[in-house]
Amino acid sequence: MRALRAFCAAAERESFRQAAEELYLTASAVSHQIKHLETELANDLFTRTARGLTLTKSGQALYDDLRPILESLDLVVENHSDLPARGSLRISVKPFFASEILMPRLAQFSQMHPGLDINVDTTGESFESSDASIRLHSSPSISINSDKLFAMCLIPVSSPEFYDSIKVRAGKIVSDFPIIVHDSRPDAWRKWQRSSRIKMPTDSKTIRLDSMIAVARAAEQGLGAALIPRYLVDRWLDTQALVPLFEHELQTNDAYYFSCHPSSKENKALSAFRDWVLKELVFE
């Protein structure tokens, strides 16, 4: 039965890893169970490629026969159980937003809905496999329902020691000013310089990183100045792990949106989560 359930989960997710998350197992355990099932049936159930999994013809036939049986078994167990049925919710969020905004507040929602299992996916994959997502958009797709949470503006920050080393004369930074750059916004410092009218050194050392968490950590360690989204850096400022370098903030055309498919409007758990997000995570 475990192997059959693992097979169905992998078939629906087209991923051993996502099936493992759903079943609270390791990906290797799911893979082992399905290999054992294939040996028992003397049939390949999946075609395995670098892109993921696809069902073979035999795998599709097994899934079509098996899924209704497992659903019937779940219903039998539910009918003979005195416990309320559990719900589940899968949310796709970028790692830095999850750690700095969502996680510190999620316990409140979880306590309000003790019968709801919450899976937060920070892999950066499309939210097509999730119930909802929180993402940056300049303008969200009209094919999905989106609620704006807050606009993204970038604030210049550094470690306290780096801040103490900066010298500014007549609107010009005259000391060493290494900058930390996020790969997704390579022109952010140039735009900040133009809008702030504070002239930066032309020979500033540049450190390029591909995640906002890495950018914040590098700034915390004194490697340079960083531009980090407002609200996502509040905890670091409160503890003075980072300090603001200048008052000027760079306004962007992007904003954080809570998005879900129009077809999910009947999902009561998702509706409850959306209401909570719009109450707790709208900062403007």
Q: Which CATH number belongs to the domain containing residue 39 in this structure?
A: 1.10.10.10
Burial class (CB in 10 A: 0-12, 13-18, 19+), 233: buried
DSSP reduced 3-state for 250: strand
Note whether 220 and 247 are within 8 A (CB).
Answer: no
Instruction: For residue 283, count other CB atoms closer than 10 A to its CB.
Output: 12
pLDDT digits (tens, 9 = 90+) for 229-246: 999 999 999 999 999 999
247 and 167 share one domain: yes
Note whether 199 and 171 are within 8 A (CB).
Answer: yes
Say how far residue 135 (Cα) sits from the centre of its chain. Answer: 8
Banded model confidence at residue 226, pLDDT cuts 50, 70, 90:
very high
pLDDT digits (tens, 9 = 90+) for 156-211: 999 999 999 999 999 999 999 999 999 999 999 999 999 999 999 999 999 999 99
Dihedral angle sign, alpha carbons of residues 51, 99, 218, 150: positive
109 and 132 share one domain: yes
117 and 243 share one domain: no
Token output for 56: 């073979």
Q: What is 134-157 written as a DSSP string?
A: EEEESS--TTSEEEEEEEEEEEEE
Say how far residue 16 (Cα) sits from the centre of its chain. Answer: 19
68 and 138 share one domain: no
Domain with 213, as residue range(s), is: 151-254
Of 269, 281, 264, 266, nearest to 114 by C-alpha is 269
pLDDT digits (tens, 9 = 90+) for 4-25: 999 999 998 888 888 888 787 8
249 and 263 share one domain: no
234 and 97 share one domain: no
211 and 259 share one domain: no
163 and 241 share one domain: yes
Domain edge (last residue) among 38, 61, 79: 79
Highest mean pLDDT among 48-57, 78-87, 145-154: 145-154
Domain edge (last residue) among 39, 55, 79: 79
Q: Is 260 or 188 the better-scoring residue by pLDDT? A: 188
71 and 129 share one domain: no
User: What's the CATH number where 167 sits?
Assistant: 3.40.190.10
Banded model confidence at residue 85, pLDDT cuts 50, 70, 90:
low
132 and 262 share one domain: yes
246 and 122 share one domain: no
Q: Domain count for the chain, please give it.
A: 3
140 and 155 share one domain: no
pLDDT digits (tens, 9 = 90+) for 89-121: 889 999 999 999 999 999 999 999 888 889 898
